[in-house]
Structure 1
Amino acid sequence: MSSSKFELFDRVDFDFKTVHGHALKTSILVPKNLQSKPRDSYATIVNWHGGGFVVGDRLYEGWLPVWLLDICLTNSAIFIAPDYRLLPEATGAEVLEDVEDFWRWLHNTLPTLTTIWNASPDLTRLARTGQSAGGYLAVQSGLLFPELSQIKLIASMGGSLNTDIPYCRILGPRQILGRSPPPPGKAESIVRTYVRNIKLQTVRASGNVIEMWDFLTCVLQQAYLGRWLGARGKEEVDVMKVLDRAETMPPIWLIHGLQDSVVPPLCSIGFVEKLKQTLPDVPLLLSLQPGDHGFEATRDGKEEWIQEGLEFIRKYWP
């Protein structure tokens, strides 16, 4: 059996919010070698998991780059991984409510829970990272809640940022990570049946990636994701509209695969173009590399483009 990517960390779980009797959890992962050092507070990375807003959870390792955890080990940094409500049981606005409530909990409650810890999070030295849907949430943290999040740096990997492109809005047959979803008619039936069977006040904050993968591919092919995120007409779910009125943004590193079949690279490229127009002084690095969605999780960190990104990180964090 392969070892966990978290084997060099001690883990503590907390509930940061309860919705309809369902607790939303966050995991605090502290490098084990910090326990033998003098009591101190340490720089922190907060990572939002991917999964198309539909599958995955905070501790799903499949899409988490080992080199991201190595950053914590190298820099004596703490890794925090929160959950959030998933679609279609939740709306995009409710997902963002969870993000905001997490930030409030992080700054107002977590310090009271870690006073006796040997190694505690330094909330003045925060980096925000995320993969796919998590990349979207990492960016939204910096745009919507700058006072709460106090982020020094953002790293978005395959983030679904600029979704106003045909691939995201128009349904039709497509290849997703080398496989074809069911034909459109069957895919539509699968999605509608799932939605029809959702019970009132259902809260779901995890989804088995293997068991729900076919459902997710149907959601993507039938272009439901944008509709679900934008349910109830909340403008704040649209990153590009939020960016239009943004006054500040942390330095940001964007990573995207050129052959991404889930979130096309235009989603990051379009965001970068808008960012340069609205906030031209924000430091940014765009790494476009050969690979499909989540390719960065298969890299060992020695690649030149990752080293360039790590150098970018060191300018602003920890």
Structure 2
Amino acid sequence: MDDPKYSKFNVSTTVYKTVNGQDIDLGVMIPKDAHSGARPVLIHFHGGFLVTGHAMYPEWFANWAIDYSLLHSAIVVSPNYRLFPESSGLEILSDIRDFWTWIQDDLPAYLKSVGSEVTPDYSKVLAYGESAGGYLAIMSGLTKPDLVKAVIAAYPMTYIDADWYRVASSTKAPMGAPQVPVAVFEEHVKGTPEGKIFTGAFPPERMPLVLSILQSGAFSGLGDDESLFPDRVLEKLSADRKVPFLFAFHGTEDSAVPCEHTQKFVGKWEEKFGQGSVVGKWEKGDHGVDAVTTLEEPWLQEGLTDVTKAWIG
């Protein structure tokens, strides 16, 4: 939490949920120059294929997103959540639901408890995430449309029922990573005590596990419930349903999460909710295409202009 990237925030952590006697925490970052009173809220969901990553891992919180939150003096809240394969997809989503309950019921009192004079403006809530976090941001937008005004999904996992995630293949080499035997995944599962959960890991921890799961198609273990899949949730919604504005972007050469999935999902969103409900940007690059992107980047500016209108007004 003392990373230079967070130097302009007052940072603290707290527990929002306990499972099997094991705490699940979140981080709260309040801009040091934020004036007292109601402030916009930016929720950041970390990536990591739902297998690794941590709410406060600075390498996966893009510089432009930090600058964007500071630009609007937004309260930033980033939750950890149960990770796969120790937990199922439904268990992960239940953590996200409980997190949103904490945001609505407990955030004001928590801010006061840490001595802050800012309060959350619930009319200005933005959900943002990258990769697996993009998936969770989209799911939040679809299930909490009365609260979430805009969603930023950076190279998100969307069609997690696709062959990419559920069929074994030796051609999957994210960012040039080596092939990792399925035994790494199998032995990990065998060695995990019943009831043990994992809720955060700073990469490279669990990265071999990520590769073993992806390359062996083991994401089928997330489950098959309809509520796990953004496209199926979207399909069931009425076209006149209130939804947040969606800004999605993806690197066209992404070797970890297929760009065409995001392009397809953006098309489905626009088809359902109409022009002006979504903006998609496709930029040359691999996973993490925004790694060195700044707020001055034209394609990012274009998307964020519409996000800001929906979020801030």
Indicate the residue corresponding to 1:68 in structure 2.
Answer: 65
Residue deviations 1:68-108, cap 9 Å, x none? 01011111111111111000011000000001001111111
Aligned partners of 2:135 and 2:166: how far apart in 1?
17
Shift of residue 250, structure 1, vs aligned partner: 0.6
Q: Show the 5 A alignment for 1:1-318.
A: 3-34=3-34, 37=35, 39-115=36-112, 117-147=116-146, 150-174=147-171, 175-182=173-180, 187-225=181-219, 227-230=220-223, 233-246=224-237, 247-280=241-274, 283-318=277-312
Aligned partners of 2:178 and 2:205: how far apart in 1?
16
Structure 2 residue matching 1:209: 3-state secondary structure: coil
One-letter code of the match for 2:296?
Answer: K
Aligned partners of 2:273 and 2:160: how far apart in 1?
20
Aligned partners of 2:144 and 2:148: how far apart in 1?
10
| Aligned-CA RMSD value | 1.7
**Contact 1:100/1:145 (8 A) holds in 2:** no
Residues 89 and 95 of structure 1: is their aligned pair in 2 closer, same or farther, counting only changes over 3 Å? same
Structure 2 residue matching 1:16: 3-state secondary structure: strand
Shift of residue 265, structure 1, vs aligned partner: 0.5
TM-score, structure 2 as length reference: 0.92
Aligned partners of 1:73 and 1:145: how far apart in 2?
24
Calculate percent identity across the aligned residue pairs.
29
Residues 112 and 287 of structure 1: is their aligned pair in 2 closer, same or farther, counting only changes over 3 Å? same
Aligned partners of 1:163 and 1:54: how far apart in 2?
13
One-letter code of the match for 2:264?
Answer: G
TM-score, structure 1 as length reference: 0.91
- Any gaps of 5 or more consecutive residues in structure 2? none
**Contact 1:172/1:222 (8 A) holds in 2:** yes
One-letter code of the match for 1:243?
Answer: L
Further displaced range: 162-171 or 283-292:
162-171
**Contact 1:163/1:267 (8 A) holds in 2:** no
- Any gaps of 5 or more consecutive residues in structure 1? none
Shift of residue 282, structure 1, vs aligned partner: 5.6
Structure 2 residue matching 1:113: 3-state secondary structure: helix
Further displaced range: 274-283 or 76-85:
274-283
Further displaced range: 14-23 or 204-213:
204-213
Residues 90 and 166 of structure 1: is their aligned pair in 2 closer, same or farther, counting only changes over 3 Å? closer
Aligned partners of 1:146 and 1:117: how far apart in 2?
28
- Aligned residue pairs total 305
Shift of residue 14, structure 1, vs aligned partner: 1.6
Residue deviations 1:46-77, cap 9 Å, x none? 01000010111100111211110101111111
Residue deviations 1:176-233, cap 9 Å, x none? 1022223xxxx111111111111111111012311321221111111112x1222xx3
Residues 296 and 33 of structure 1: is their aligned pair in 2 closer, same or farther, counting only changes over 3 Å? same
Aligned partners of 1:193 and 1:3: how far apart in 2?
34
Further displaced range: 274-283 or 204-213:
274-283
Aligned partners of 2:254 and 2:163: how far apart in 1?
15
**Contact 1:44/1:77 (8 A) holds in 2:** yes
One-letter code of the match for 1:235?
Answer: E
Structure 2 residue matching 1:134: 3-state secondary structure: helix
Shift of residue 286, structure 1, vs aligned partner: 0.2
